[in-house]
Amino acid sequence: MKATTMVVSAACALTLGLGTAPRALAMPSCNERITRTTVVPCAIEASLAARSEQLGLIALDGRLRSAAALLPSNPALILTGGLPFDPSTTERTPLWSAALSQEVEIAGQRGARLDVVAAEQRAQRARVTVAHRQTAADALFAYFDAIASREDLKVAERLVSLAKALKTVASARAEVGLGSDLDARLAEAAAIRLTQTRIAAEQRVASTSAALTTLLGLNPLLERPQIDGGLAPLAIVDLPAAALVETALTRRADVTVLAAERQAQEQRIKMFERLRIPNPTFSAFARRDWIGERVVGVGISFPIPLPAPIGRTYAGEIAEATAFVRRAETQIEGIHRAIRLEVVKAVEAVSARKRQLDLYTPEQIQKTGSAVDAIAEELTAKRLPVREALIAQQALIEVLSGYVEAQRALCFATVELARAAGIELERGVQ
């Protein structure tokens, strides 16, 4: 009882911090402005994988209509006519007959077919959910990647003035004899490297923006939506790994797919067993025979079951479905193992990323940024040697870049944990 309560509480807690379902929100404009709230519904709306799985669900609706037919076959109407062939008489009285027959299922075959289709529909709905959740995770990865590249560009842009100052001051000091040519060459190399960093950051911004635009179903050659937001991780509460694993085993849609596929195969076995039972065919007939009598009547016929391989016993189909049931059970056990590993690794990754981010305090980042800006001023005022400036800028840049990467890594880790734990990312996040 306590374990069940813990799992339910974990499931409720995991839902906290996640937004409401997309259907509860007005569909946002996806080609102008993308935010943390709108990126998931926009990506799902444009997802070809989700659309393909949805079409599979529509196809099963057609199969359901076929399985729901009340009669296993259409009625058969047989009409015959002729003349008596007797050389000893000249009388040619027309002969005719009419018969109407209908096969009827008596062993519940229709219900068995409906049960099979119902299980297949559950599996397909779960596949739609899998596609939605994977699309949501991919959208969040692309969104956070785009935001991180934008933050990297901000860091790189702060280095432009520093690169100019390094090159200008070192060259000027070398010309008047206050510095060596080596300092000038080192400063020039550092300036080139800082400029390359900025160019690479600009390219990364363009690349991540194009990737997110494509994920939203837009043409990156024609339009690029504005991306708003920051590197704030998903609001996933701290829960024990055991509780997350138990929750994932019940909420992961890929587990639901395999369970429904197993149930569909089990229902197929029942259906084939019922198909073994012969269906009677009822008939009614009327005819005129060769002596002119008119006869009406009814009849019933039964197929004669024959043993395999002469007759059809559905033994092969039952053996095939039984093997598929065992395969599904094996796959379920395999995915349970994979889920446990994924959740444990994701929990450990989130914990490690949090510790890494905790190394950077807001005060430290603010002072580091100010120090980078101050290097150029100190060089221009001739209060800082070029070589010391080169060493200082390298250390300060690594701090700022490391802070952005730590934020990005934590955001990615929380998305991966949410996906592994079966959290309904397709409902959107806040």
Take residue 150 and report the two structure tokens written for it: 């934008």
Of 57, 211, 85, the C-alpha closest to 140 is 211
| Counted domains in the chain | 1
Give the integer Cα–Cα distance in Å for 198 and 204: 10
Quick: pLDDT tens for 306-318.
Answer: 888 888 889 999 9
- Mean per-residue pLDDT of the chain: 83
Q: What is the dihedral of CA 345, 348, 350, 356, to 10 degrees?
A: -130
Does the bond joining 94 to the residue before it have cis omega, within 30 degrees of 0? no
Higher-confidence residue of 216 and 166: namely 216
Q: pLDDT above 70 covers what percent of the chain? A: 80
Question: What is the enclosing helix (H) or strand (E) of 145?
Answer: helix 109-175
Q: Does 91 reside within a domain?
A: no
Any idea how long the chain is?
A: 430
Which band of pLDDT confidence, cut at 50, 70 and 90, is reported for residue 181? low
Domain annotation covers residue 111 = no
| Top-confidence range, 115-129, 166-180, 307-321, 371-385 | 115-129
Residue 86 domain-assigned (yes or no): no
Asked whether residue 379 carries a pLDDT value surpassing 70, the answer given is: no
Which domain CATH number covers 208?
1.20.1600.10
pLDDT of residue 15: 44
Q: Is the peptide bond before 309 cis (omega within 30 degrees of 0)?
A: yes
Instruction: Please report how the helices 315-358 and 241-251 are oriented relative to each other, as an axis angle in degrees rounded to 10.
Output: 140
CA dist 242 → 10, 148, 239 (Å): 10, 32, 8
Task: Please give the residue that has the higher pLDDT: either 243 or 210.
Answer: 210
Please determine, for residue 356, whether its predicted confidence score (pLDDT) is greater than 90.
yes
Q: Is there a domain that residue 334 lies in?
A: yes
Q: Does 97 fall in a domain?
A: no
Write out pLDDT tens, residues 137-149.
999 999 999 999 9
Confidence category of residue 282, pLDDT binned at 50, 70, 90 = very high
Least confident range of 39-43, 108-112, 240-244, 387-391: 387-391
Only one residue has tokens 């008939």, namely: 283
Where residue 336 falls among pLDDT bands split at 50, 70, 90?
very high
Asked whether residue 360 is assigned to any structural domain, the reply reads yes
pLDDT for the residue 22: 41
* Residue 179 DSSP one-character state: S
Is 422 part of a structural domain of the chain? yes
The predicted model gives 15-38 an average pLDDT of 61
Residue 80: count other Cβ atoms within 10 Å of its Cβ.
10
For residue 6, is it within any domain? yes
What is the domain range of residue 158? 2-44+121-274+324-427
**DSSP string spanning 351-383?**
HHHHHHHHTS-HHHHHHHHHHHHHHHHHHHTT-
Q: Summarize the confidence of residues 231-253 as an average pLDDT.
A: 84
Q: What number is the average pLDDT over the span 167-178?
A: 58
